[in-house]
Structure 1
Amino acid sequence: MAIDDDLLPWLLDSDPALRWQVERDLAGAPPAVWEPTRARVATEGFGARLLAVQDDDGRWAGGAFFPAGFDVQGPETAPGAGQPWTATTWSLVSLREWGLDPDVLAGTAERLDAVCRWEYDDLPYWGGEVDVCINAFTLENGAWLGADVSGIARWFVEHQLADGGWNCEWVDGATRSSVHSTLNAVKGLLGYEKAAVPGTPPELMASLRAVRHAGEEYLLERHLLRRLSTGEPIAPWVTRFAYPFRSFYSVLNALDHVRSASLHDAVPPDPRLAEAVEVVRAARQPDGTWTQERRHPGRVWFEVDVPAGEPSRWLTLHGIRVLDWWDAHRDG
């Protein structure tokens, strides 16, 4: 879609973490323009601020998934309070998604291997733990930083459920997949594929691609938003958009992944996405923006998007990017 003359300058007037993506994906700028902007993530704005609070031992907030000393039974985990988003895993997710050059974090993977342990059973950091979503983030973060996360990659093959997806509650006996867990799993698997980790056996890569495609099929069967059993909407939250996405499912988050997978696999959009795409299109405001509908509660180092009720540059980037991809194939 053509971007309004007023909308593009508004999107470009943003942190380098967002601006380089607008330049590349919406403005169609060449690498000579967006690559220097992306490099600024290490020295300006959100990226520089988050790098500045990294612990000397390579962690953030002294913990793997939770800050050091966090009480999982305390008031911060009460209903509606939200978990903190300041520890190592979430900080790495942010820096990776913002486009930080992994060379800026040279040595971090090794330091984390030496000192960082999961809060669950004190397991070594790059070996992963039992939670699907945590392992998905760690798989992609590790591939990005050059850590050996092949054990986590194999874990996804071994723990895929019969219906094609995954569920973080499998350890408690769950046998039916979750859209939250499955989306995070396929995102992590795609990130690992894209990293093209040297030395990965071809048979492992083939298995990972197969389980990713099965997980994506699990979501596509549901048109990203409906229960397979009844055809009813999964829940109201699937159509509520908030950035950062964190670990939470929405049709915009899912479409952003499916777009990325489609481009990587060189296949056109699946027709079953049509309804989800129209949900995203309908959420676009008359001025061409998408509104931040909520903030996921929980402690953060700093906010990276607007409060609820205001137009979000991040959601607008993702919304336009998804619609451009869909419409280009439909119109073609």
Structure 2
Amino acid sequence: MAEVLAWLLDSDPALRWQVERDLAGSPPEVWEATRARVATEGFGARLLALQDPDGQWAGGAFFPAGFKGSPEDGQPWTATTWSLNALRDWGLDASVLSGTAELLERNSRWEYENLPYWDGEVDVCINSWTLSNGLWLGADVHGIADWFVEHRLPDDGWNCLWVEGAERSSVHSTLNALKALLDHEKAGDPVGSAADARRGGEEYLLSRSLFRRLSTGEPIAPWVGHFSYPFRWFYDVLNAADYFRAAALFDGTTPDPRMAEALDLIRAAQQPDGTWLQARRHPGEVWFEIDAPAGKPSKWLTFHATRVLGWWDSHAH
């Protein structure tokens, strides 16, 4: 573990401060100083420098301006929403982006029906990121939290294809909705129906052991155990377990035992040297690479997996 920890600490500030806080047990003055460097060094500084004068990245809300690609080309990961997601995930202090919320309110519109940026649109995952990013930057996004309550499906989850008539939830959409609703509660906003929606969505995943079909008990698909970073919108059991760790710490609860098999999948993927491998690269244009190529040891996945297993193992099961 000492060698793996040293390897993880030899990282960009965007990852290093999290390793210091959550794995190395460094005092706040250490990891907070490293976190402050995200704005001026490495990945964070590079991405900040790519922001357009109108507050956007790549000239668009979800897609780069003028994007006319096909699904075979992959999803571009360079536009405003993806760039904000990355900076938020890396721990950038929102004050560094002072004025961005107002710029996006004036200048950014969704590709779907030209809707205003902070109003969200019809896609569950897009609305989840908009809610989280808006809370982070101080935009008025309270209406989006209500939208999630109103758009739960009868099985208590969500599906981005609801607008096309989907009546059964998707693990991808449900996990992303849960992340945003947790951020909503962390921000101190009223709980009530939004909190109930989060509990229902959690039960949707837990009743399936995070990766099994409720109808047959069979795994949903092989990709539930294929881990990749950045997580993007894709579901896997590491991404889900990482959410449940954050939710349990916020709620002051212990791990749900129904996650045991999923944690076994995560543990089984650990390599003899203590690392986890990047399973794949999601196709699509990026500003720059931040992690290992497919098949190579991933610092980000190793960090997340080590942290999740440490949390799980610290409680008796």
Q: TM-score range by the shorter chain?
A: over 0.9
Partners of 1:57 and 1:305 in 2: how far apart? 29
Whichever residue aligns with residue 115 of structure 1, its letter is: N
Match of 2:108 in 1: 116
Could you tell me which residue of structure 2 aligns to residue 309 of structure 1? 295
Distance 1:251 1:5 in 2: 26
Task: Report the counterpart of residue 247 of structure 2 in structure 1.
Answer: 261
Q: What TM-score do you get using the length of structure 2 for normalisation?
A: 0.99
Match of 2:80 among 76, 88, 99: 88
Q: Take 2:312 and 2:2, find their aligned partners in 1: how far apart are those partners? A: 22
Moved over 6 A (4+): none
Which residue identity is paired with 2:66? Answer: G
* Corresponding pairs, count: 317
Q: Is 1:102–2:86 an aligned residue pair?
A: no
Q: Whole-Å Cα distance in 1 between the matches of residues 293 and 255 of structure 2?
A: 32
Deviation per CA, 1:156-175, whole angstroms, max 9, x where unpaired?
01001110000000000001
Provide the secondary structure at the position in 2 that maps to 1:6: helix
1:277 maps to what in 2? 263
Counterpart of 2:304, as a letter, is H
Tell me the CA shift for residue 19 of structure 1: 0.1
CA distance in 2, matches of 1:306, 1:285: 15
* Structure 2 gaps, min length 5: none
Matched, 1:30 2:27: yes
Q: Confirm whether residue 298 of structure 1 aligns to residue 284 of structure 2.
A: yes
Shift of 1:329: 0.8
AA in 1 matched with 2:175 = L
Name the counterpart of 1:57: 54
State yes or no: 1:143 paired with 2:135.
yes
State which of 62, 67, 89 in structure 1 corresponds to 2:64.
67
The CA deviation at 1:261 is 0.3
2:30 maps to amino acid: V
Which residue of the partner structure matches residue 237 of structure 1? 223
Matches of 1:93 and 1:113 in 2, distance apart? Answer: 17
Distance 1:190 1:141 in 2: 13
Residue 322, structure 1, aligned to residue 314, structure 2:
no
Instruction: Give, in whole Å, the separation in 1 of the partners of 2:192 and 2:85.
Output: 25
1:154-169 equivalent positions in 2, closer than 5 A: 154-169=146-161
Paired letter, 1:49 = R
1:75-114 CA-to-partner distances (Å, cap 9, x unmatched) read 4x22xx3110000000000000000000000000000000
In structure 1, list runs of 5 or more residues that go unmatched.
none
Deviation at 1:195, TM superposition (A): 2.0
Among 221, 234, 237, the residue aligned to 1:251? 237
In the TM superposition, residue 8 of structure 1 has moved relative to its aligned partner by 1.1
What are the Cα deviations for residues 16-65 of structure 1, in whole angstroms up to 9, with x where unaligned? 00000000000011101100000000000000000000000000000000
Write the distance in 1 (CA, Å) between the matches of 2:127 and 2:4.
Answer: 37
Residue 194 of structure 1, CA deviation: 1.2
**In 2: Cα distance, 1:227 partner to 1:248 partner:** 17
SS of the residue corresponding to residue 279 of structure 2 reads coil
* 1:311 to partner: Cα distance: 0.5
Query: What's the offset of the Cα at 1:119?
Result: 0.1
Q: 2: CA distance between counterparts of 1:298 and 1:323?
A: 31
Report what 1:153 is aligned to.
145
Return the match for 1:220 from 201, 206, 211.
Answer: 206
Match of 2:119 in 1: 127
TM-score normalised by the chain length of structure 1 = 0.94
Tell me what 1:286 maps to: 272
Is 1:208 the equivalent of 2:194? yes
1:48 counterpart letter in structure 2: A
User: What CA distance in whole angstroms lies between the structure 1 residues aligned with 2:192 and 2:92?
Assistant: 28
User: Which amino acid is the alignment partner of residue 161 of structure 2?
Assistant: E
Q: CA deviation at 1:9?
A: 0.9
The Cα of 1:230 is off from its aligned counterpart by 0.5
- The amino acid of 1:319's aligned partner reads A
Pairwise CA RMSD: 0.8
User: 2:103 aligns to what SS in structure 1?
Assistant: helix
The alpha-carbon deviation at position 221 of structure 1 amounts to: 0.5
